[in-house]
């Protein structure tokens, strides 16, 4: 049982998780998530935020959407009090901003009533960001000097609405309604009844700031009909006012090269960010479905011994950034000084591996023109004789044997250091697996043979029309060997090359 002193250590952060774009989450939210012991999150939160959480954190979904509440508000309040009182560092993630129709005030009151510590971390609200991503500024000198934000979803226990539609209709400037798509017909009718011009422009922005964003335009008179005809659904922000017309010239987000393409990234969670963020910047709707994760080698002591003796080799060959990370993590457990690596020369496959070596302030002496094992062999042949040269090869457990065999044929003395291994990813914190099953995708990317093999091990259905992209010929061979068609193959075997190939495939 927790003592009074330990209970006093508990704290609850009521944190705004932003509107959906991971880049709009504040640094402070990321910081508290990384240190959390309990995370309680909502339906509108981007679940990829959870990838920042430490191992062992307790994650609780408390999502609420129309007609489906996982937990009632009173139960959420009680949960936050319980976990905070137990001395935990609790992060309550709420979509947008916690104090703008997020019921954060009620949760703060519950914590205050229990005498518990809490902090408020404001978030970027969808009321402003979703229109901005749709090319609609909520204020503009020529259109609106005033902004009114109201909710379309009031407490169902109320016998009558607290919204003053007469005042809303007569108030100048832009009006933004949150959480009211299901009642759009009633609300627009009430505004018109109270004097609002039926021709007033209206825009609905669904899943704003994300690759799933959809925008529907109309007027107060016809937007409800358009919602019914198109099947437009929540969650959406409604913007009312002449600023909506600025979308014709300011629509920047939905015009990017890969807009509307749903692309699956299968790299490890740690590595997926670079590819995902690049594709998102190009407009793709990216969801990360990591099929593998990186684990230490089974024979960690043996690996440590080889790293300790690295100074005695003529060459160290790195085949991936993961190998570089694993090597230097072990190296700096053994040594305090980078000079302990001695005069060994370094070879690296591909620019990403080279860049990772340089992060440790070391020079790469040899990088092949082709980013595959065969390219390293040819580079060594071109560079000069490696006969009797001692070469330490830091690589994954499941790697091909091309390098050790071919370098040995050239007369080199090769020791293989198993730096890491890839194992199937079993967690789905972001819900990507469920989304893939339900919605499918337009393109799936494979960046190694192991991502192919472990994706197939999931035994997921292959959606109709799904295309597949490969980072290079080795990965492509694995795909074909397993009965998959290669629709896109990078001619430069790295992430920038893969992105370039995807753009070419879509004519972007």
Which residues are designated catalytic?
A: 42, 64, 179
Of 407, 410, 274, nearest to 347 by C-alpha is 407
Q: Phi/psi zone of residue 189: left (φ > 0), alpha (ψ -120 to 50 degrees), beta?
A: alpha
Integer-rounded Cα radius of gyration of the chain: 27
Rounded to 5 degrees, φ, ψ at 367 are -135, 120
Using DSSP's 3-state secondary structure scheme, residue 27 falls into: helix
b/e per residue 447-481 (b: at least 16 CB within 10 A): bbbbbbbbbbeeeeeebeebbbbbbbbbbbebbee
Of 217, 193, 38, nearest to 136 by C-alpha is 217
- The residue with tokens 């397993």 is 482
Q: Are 407 and 391 in contact (CB under 8 A)?
A: yes
Rounded to 5 degrees, φ, ψ at 440 are 70, -160
Q: Are 391 and 376 in contact (CB under 8 A)?
A: no
Helix, strand, coil percent values for the chain (each to nearest 5): 40, 20, 40
As a three-state string, the secondary structure of 92-142 is EEECECCCCCCCHHHHHHHHHHCCCEEEEECCCCHHHHHHHHCCCCCCECC
Q: Are 292 and 436 in contact (CB under 8 A)?
A: no
Pairing of strands 174-178, 236-240: antiparallel
* Cα three-residue angle 488-489-492, rounded to 5 degrees: 140
Going by the DSSP 8-state scheme, the letter that residue 156 receives in this structure is T
């Amino acid at each position: 049982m927790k003592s009074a002193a330990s209970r006093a250590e508990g704290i609850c952060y009521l944190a705004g998780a932003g509107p959906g774009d991971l880049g709009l989450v504040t640094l402070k939210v990321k910081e508290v998530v990384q240190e959390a012991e309990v995370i309680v999150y909502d339906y509108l939160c981007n679940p990829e935020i959870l990838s920042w959480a430490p191992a062992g954190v307790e994650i609780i979904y408390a999502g609420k959407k129309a007609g489906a509440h996982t937990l009632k508000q009173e139960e959420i309040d009680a949960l936050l009090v319980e976990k905070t009182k137990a001395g935990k560092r609790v992060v309550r993630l709420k979509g947008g901003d916690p104090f703008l129709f997020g019921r954060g005030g009620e949760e703060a009151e519950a914590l205050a009533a229990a005498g518990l510590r809490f902090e408020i971390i404001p978030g970027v609200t969808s009321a402003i960001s979703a229109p901005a991503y749709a090319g609609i500024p909520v204020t503009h000198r020529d259109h609106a000097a005033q902004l009114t934000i109201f909710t379309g979803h009031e407490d169902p226990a109320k016998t009558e609405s607290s919204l003053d539609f007469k005042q809303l209709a007569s108030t100048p400037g832009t009006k933004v309604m949150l959480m009211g798509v299901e009642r759009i017909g009633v609300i627009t009718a009430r505004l018109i009844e109270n004097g609002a011009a039926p021709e007033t422009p209206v825009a609905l922005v669904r899943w704003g700031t994300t690759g799933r964003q959809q925008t529907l335009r109309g007027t107060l008179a016809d937007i409800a009909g358009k919602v019914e005809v198109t099947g437009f659904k929540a969650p959406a922000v409604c913007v009312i006012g002449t600023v909506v017309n600025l979308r014709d010239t300011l629509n920047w987000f939905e015009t990017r090269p890969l807009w509307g393409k749903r692309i699956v990234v299968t790299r490890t969670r740690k590595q997926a960010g670079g590819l995902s963020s690049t594709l998102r910047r190009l407009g793709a709707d990216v969801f990360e479905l990591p099929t593998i994760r990186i684990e230490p080698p089974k024979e960690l002591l043996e690996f440590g011994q080889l790293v300790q003796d690295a100074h005695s080799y003529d060459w160290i060959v790195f085949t991936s950034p993961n190998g570089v990370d694993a090597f230097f993590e072990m190296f700096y457990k053994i040594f305090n000084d980078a000079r302990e690596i001695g005069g060994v020369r370094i070879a690296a496959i591909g620019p990403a591996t080279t860049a990772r070596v340089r992060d440790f302030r070391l020079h790469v002496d040899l990088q092949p023109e082709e980013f595959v094992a065969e390219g390293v062999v040819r580079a060594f042949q071109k560079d000069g004789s490696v006969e009797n040269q001692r070469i330490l090869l830091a690589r994954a457990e499941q790697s091909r044997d091309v390098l050790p065999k071919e370098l040995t044929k050239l007369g080199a003395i090769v020791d293989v250091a198993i730096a890491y291994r890839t194992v199937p990813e079993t967690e789905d914190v972001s819900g990507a697996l469920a989304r893939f099953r339900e919605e499918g995708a337009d393109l799936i990317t494979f960046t190694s043979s192991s991502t192919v093999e472990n994706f197939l091990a999931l035994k997921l259905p292959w959606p109709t029309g799904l295309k597949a992209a490969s980072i290079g010929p080795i990965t492509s061979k694995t795909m074909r060997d397993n009965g998959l068609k290669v629709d896109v193959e990078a001619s430069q075997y790295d992430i920038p090359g893969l992105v370039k190939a995807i753009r070419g495939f879509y004519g972007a």
